[in-house]
Amino acid sequence: MASASRRRHRRRIAAATMAVIGLTAGLATGCDAVDKAIDCVQTADTIADSVTGLQQAVENAANDPTQTDQSLNSIEKDLDKIGDKTDNADVNKAVDDLRQAVDNVRTAVKNGDNTPDISPVTDAAGELTKVCTS
């Protein structure tokens, strides 16, 4: 009788231990998701600042044409950070769309356009911010 009671007690302890392990794993996974979301939002915010810098660089291209290239490089660097930190399909699509918009502006500048249309970059950055915060 005593050994049956011990077995039940051990099973309860094992079940409680498994429940604690499951809860801890769930919390760790939740924290990872929150950390990734925070990284996404912070980087999207940085990209928004870079897009503002790009707007100013395009406006001042006559004075310093290298500013546009530097702004585009900054945006691409930030996109790499987001791409490395997420496996979210919506975020990855927004990153790809923004990268394509940046490439289009870069191509326009290389082809001699000193005042390229950067509205696709602005729109794509807004979409990235929206995806990161939803």
- What is the structure's pLDDT at 32? 58
- What is the structure's pLDDT at 34? 64
- What is the structure's pLDDT at 30? 47
- What is the structure's pLDDT at 6? 46
Q: What is the pLDDT along the chain (134 residues), one digit of tens a residue?
A: 455 554 553 444 433 334 333 433 443 444 556 666 676 777 777 788 888 888 888 888 767 778 888 888 888 888 887 767 777 788 889 889 999 999 999 999 899 888 889 899 889 888 888 887 77
How many angstroms separate the CA atoms of 13 and 27, rounded? 21
- What is the structure's pLDDT at 10? 45
Query: How would DSSP label each residue in 56-113?
Result: HHHHTTTT-THHHHHHHHHHHHHHHHHHHH---HHHHHHHHHHHHHHHHHHHHHHTT-
- What is the structure's pLDDT at 103? 94
Q: Give the pTM.
A: 0.68
- What is the structure's pLDDT at 11? 47
